[in-house]
Structure 1
């Protein structure tokens, strides 16, 4: 038996390794030619200290208190030289990937479909030539064919599948948009590098509020695909806001998620005053059904910068501090910027 271990480095790069039963994370990383920080490998120096808040593992009792205190262990800190996984895990490594003689993974893919699903959104489907593991919510950089330029796009597909999908904003005159709308065809080759990003679904241990703006819906589709397979015993509510009626996409998929995932619900909001949509305004105008519970909630937010700032301001003005707040803001032709407020 072996386990899938995601190593998240502080420069935003994630590398996945397989860890055999009874094997330490440090040994598994070295076997995969990733040199995690280490001086002693005996639980004495503390150089290999990281953290793990997702997954089951055993630290044993071979390490000394100077390397890892009881308080640190209770807070999820680990020593990779002592950590023996008992399930799939996500391990935070507090150094850059380049310091560990590793870097971003590169995968070739073949275009399957390009669909203009609305005037402002493009659905891209790609078949990856090799496995590309990612955490639900993460993104990759896709190179624009014929150029050295890349653009960052969140996966909207289920983790673990070689058939990848992306929901991409159609930017008039944009480099990637122009290629997808005007030139791209099935069979074209694309280069993907990643996965990357700290915006991903954590273990669902309390109510979850998802807030999406425009094509910021993409990472939530991947999260919901994950929840459809793994289930959740907690209320999960999505508020999806767009500018115009035509911008609403993937509604049928959301309805299927609502039918197939226990405790999941969603609503859509349109900002335009000319809209005939029953809910108008911004997502912050329609939070009455959100499972906020005086802060006992994990919030995930993905959208353009003004939306992110407005939501952060909403919680601040309401005097509510969520248990955790994870957000990703995006702008045309700019890589995603992720953040988290504990």
Structure 2
């Protein structure tokens, strides 16, 4: 039996490798030319220490100097000793370049474009052979007819026959303009990835998802995965937008709520002129029960001011969540590394 290992590097690049029966994480990586940090191979030096973020494994044998009991209990492992017993997600404390690898490149075709509202567009691509990603990750898509790339989170779950993305329609946005004016089904598309450290981890406690605008996309991917695998922990999403026209994807959320008993969601519109029954910012619509006294994993995706505001609000509430994963994105300009990962919306 083989197990798939997602190697997530410090620069956000993710590569997937297959571990054969009895292989360690290091063996599987080196067999395909990915040189993760390694020295002794005997569990004695600790050079290959990494964090297993999802999945089951046999930690193997090693000495205390290489990995302490406390570190092992906290999810750290030695790549030269750890043998997968299920699919794994492993955070490697080095860049992909140092490990002599890089993000993969894929070619595919545009399947379709869907105008969701005056401010939002969705588009779908045929899923290319060999594509794998973690729910919540993004890819860098080449805008046809240019040499420019734009980064978008998958809104579809891993394993789907088509992959989908959610885009804010910005009048002068490069990708937005192409989707409005030049896109045609069958157009050749290129992208690299997957990338990003904003992805769904093993669910071991309640989840609170906070989405701003097109920051809904990665949560749709996560919910697709949870609907497939099931989830016995409560999952609540607060989805905030600026104007009524920005509120898209609600039918998809209703579908996930019907399929996943543990999932619920709240929508919020900030504009005072909105006809929506709930106004304001997402923090005004998070209840103490949804914070679970801090015993909660919070995932947040939105523009930088929203991320900063939520962090300040949590501090003011005196709540420190068990885990807080976030991704900031900018509606325009170059992609920059901020927060847990980064992407661009236009």
* Band of TM-score, shorter chain: over 0.9
CA distance in 1 between partners of 2:291 and 2:338 (Å): 22
Structure 1 counterpart SS, 2:108:
strand
Q: Tell me, which stretches of 5 or more residues in structure 1 are unaligned?
A: none
Q: Tell me, which stretches of 5 or more residues in structure 2 are unaligned?
A: 341-346
Q: In structure 1, what is the equivalent of residue 36 of structure 2?
A: 36
CA apart distance, 1:164: 0.4
CA distance in 1 between partners of 2:4 and 2:108 (Å): 22
Q: In structure 2, what is the equivalent of residue 27 of structure 1?
A: 27
CA apart distance, 1:290: 5.4
Q: In structure 2, what is the equivalent of residue 220 of structure 1?
A: 219
Contact 1:3 1:87 in 2 (8 A): yes
Q: In structure 1, what is the equivalent of residue 309 of structure 2?
A: 310
CA apart distance, 1:67: 1.8
1:68 to 2:83 alignment: no
CA distance in 1 between partners of 2:97 and 2:298 (Å): 31
Q: In structure 2, what is the equivalent of residue 230 of structure 1?
A: 229
CA distance in 1 between partners of 2:336 and 2:2 (Å): 32
Name whichever of 46-55 and 252-261 sits farther off.
46-55
CA distance in 1 between partners of 2:316 and 2:67 (Å): 39
Q: In structure 2, what is the equivalent of residue 152 of structure 1?
A: 151
Structure 2 counterpart SS, 1:335:
coil
Structure 2 counterpart SS, 1:65:
coil
Q: In structure 1, what is the equivalent of residue 131 of structure 2?
A: 132
CA apart distance, 1:336: 6.6
CA apart distance, 1:131: 2.2
Q: In structure 1, what is the equivalent of residue 140 of structure 2?
A: 141
Q: In structure 1, what is the equivalent of residue 343 of structure 2?
A: none
CA distance in 1 between partners of 2:168 and 2:38 (Å): 43
Structure 1 counterpart SS, 2:65:
coil
1:88 to 2:91 alignment: no
CA distance in 2 between partners of 1:162 and 1:47 (Å): 39
CA distance in 1 between partners of 2:117 and 2:318 (Å): 37
CA apart distance, 1:313: 1.3
CA apart distance, 1:172: 0.8
CA distance in 1 between partners of 2:126 and 2:209 (Å): 28
Q: In structure 1, what is the equivalent of residue 198 of structure 2?
A: 199
Contact 1:112 1:125 in 2 (8 A): yes
Cα-Cα RMSD: 1.3
Structure 1 counterpart SS, 2:98:
helix
CA distance in 2 between partners of 1:311 and 1:233 (Å): 26
CA apart distance, 1:119: 1.1
CA distance in 1 between partners of 2:218 and 2:256 (Å): 14
CA distance in 1 between partners of 2:25 and 2:72 (Å): 16
Q: In structure 2, what is the equivalent of residue 7 of structure 1?
A: 7
CA distance in 1 between partners of 2:135 and 2:335 (Å): 18
Structure 2 counterpart SS, 1:223:
helix
CA distance in 1 between partners of 2:249 and 2:7 (Å): 32
Call closer, same or farther: CA 1:241–1:337 in 2, change over 3 Å: farther
CA apart distance, 1:337: 4.6
Call closer, same or farther: CA 1:139–1:208 in 2, change over 3 Å: same
Structure 1 counterpart SS, 2:115:
strand
Q: In structure 1, what is the equivalent of residue 277 of structure 2?
A: 278
- Write out aligned runs for 1:102-181 (5 A): 102-181=101-180
In the superposition, the TM-score normalised over structure 1's length comes to 0.96
Name whichever of 117-126 and 328-337 sits farther off.
328-337
CA apart distance, 1:35: 1.2
CA distance in 2 between partners of 1:215 and 1:9 (Å): 25
CA distance in 2 between partners of 1:11 and 1:67 (Å): 25
**Partner deviation per Cα, 1:24-74 (whole Å, 9 max, x = no partner):** 11111111111112122122222111111311000222x222222222212
CA distance in 2 between partners of 1:58 and 1:205 (Å): 20
CA apart distance, 1:162: 3.9
**Partner deviation per Cα, 1:180-211 (whole Å, 9 max, x = no partner):** 11101100111111111111111111111111
